[in-house]
């Protein structure tokens, strides 16, 4: 009789431990998922920021090159001297 009582008590304690440990384990798994999702969101935001920076830099470079081309046209037409062209070009590049 004592044997069955000890086995029953052990089974009860085992089930109690399993029952009370399920919630913290599931919370840990959920927290890990949230961390991965947040990291993925941050990565995509960083990629968007980098692509926007590259686009704005490209646009700036295009604007500068367009201005230099306009200055070159003015120089070839004789409206700007070589010195004026170089000064204006240096001002655009700095």
Print the SS3 string covering the chain: CHHHHHHHHHHHHHHHHHHHHHHHHHHHHHHHHHHHHHHHHHHHHHHHHHHHHHHHHHHHHHHHHHHHHHHHHHHHHCCCCHHHHHHHHHHHHC
pLDDT of residue 77: 84
Note the pLDDT of residue 11. 93
- Each residue's pLDDT tens digit in the chain (94 positions)? 888 899 999 999 999 888 888 888 888 888 888 887 777 776 666 666 666 666 666 666 677 778 888 888 888 888 778 888 888 888 878 7
Question: Residue 14 has what pLDDT?
Answer: 92
Task: Provide the whole-model pTM.
Answer: 0.40
Provide the residue ranges of all domains of the chain, joining segments of one domain with +.
2-93
What pLDDT sits at residue 90? 84
Q: What is the C-alpha separation between 28 and 39, in angstroms, rounded?
A: 17
Task: Tell me if 85 sits within 8 A of 71, measured CB to CB.
Answer: yes
């Amino acid at each position: 009789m004592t044997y069955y009582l000890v086995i029953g008590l052990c089974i009860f304690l085992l089930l109690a431990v399993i029952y009370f440990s399920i919630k913290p384990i599931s919370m840990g798994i959920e927290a890990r998922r949230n961390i991965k999702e947040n990291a993925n969101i941050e990565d995509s935001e960083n990629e968007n920021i980098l692509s926007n920076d590259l686009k704005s830099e490209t646009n700036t470079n295009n604007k500068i090159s367009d201005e230099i081309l306009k200055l070159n046209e003015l120089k070839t037409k004789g409206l700007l001297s070589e010195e004026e062209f170089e000064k204006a070009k240096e001002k655009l590049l700095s």
